[in-house]
Amino acid sequence: MWMPPICLVSEAAEFASRRHTGMARKGRGNEPYVNHLAEVANLLATVTGGRDAELVAAGWLHDTIEDTATTQEELAQKFSERVASLVAEVTDDMRLPKSARHQLQIVEAPGKSPDAKLIKIADKISNLRARIVPDPSQDERNDLAAYTIFAEKVVAGCRGVNAKLDAEFDEAVSAAKTAF
């Protein structure tokens, strides 16, 4: 189903917002989860010069299969097959333990499509930034340190698609390392 690019992005934002209603984000004082989705989509729009509405829509939707009852088929019908495929490509299997999901992200990162790699990097940037809080507790510092190591391993397999996004990630890592 084709729709004008601005409508596609707007529809994705609304859909993702509604599906994540009531969810809070780790870090940043339990801000609404939709802020994470907005940040990922905005990073993708910014580093690509706004030239790929389906990629930005997938950024808005990247956690819908993982975190809600949304299916890949539903996304394909409502948005496009490409959007649905990108979201599915970056979705973790939540039936697995966290350690297994993390290991799979590291191992599978180099084999992802270029656009899925961009979503992964934008997601890691947003997650790192959210963990950087003023006056962190020791637990928050430990979480940030562990997440930074994990994110660096995933992004190592995703680099080289977009120099601007790689630089944004490096800045986020630098800020994180200063915070712990």
Sign of the Cα pseudo-torsion (2, 47, 118, 26, in order): negative
CA distances from 41 to 52, 82, 149, 159 (A): 11, 16, 23, 18
Catalytic residues: 66-67
Residue 72: CB partners within 8 Å, gap ≥ 6? 65, 84, 85, 87, 88
Which long-range contacts (C-beta less than 8 Å, at least 24 apart) are formed by 20-25?
20/63, 20/64, 20/67, 20/68, 23/67, 25/130
Please answer whether residues 122 and 44 qualify as being in contact, where contact means their C-beta atoms are separated by less than 8 angstroms: yes
CB atoms within 10 A of CB 7: 12
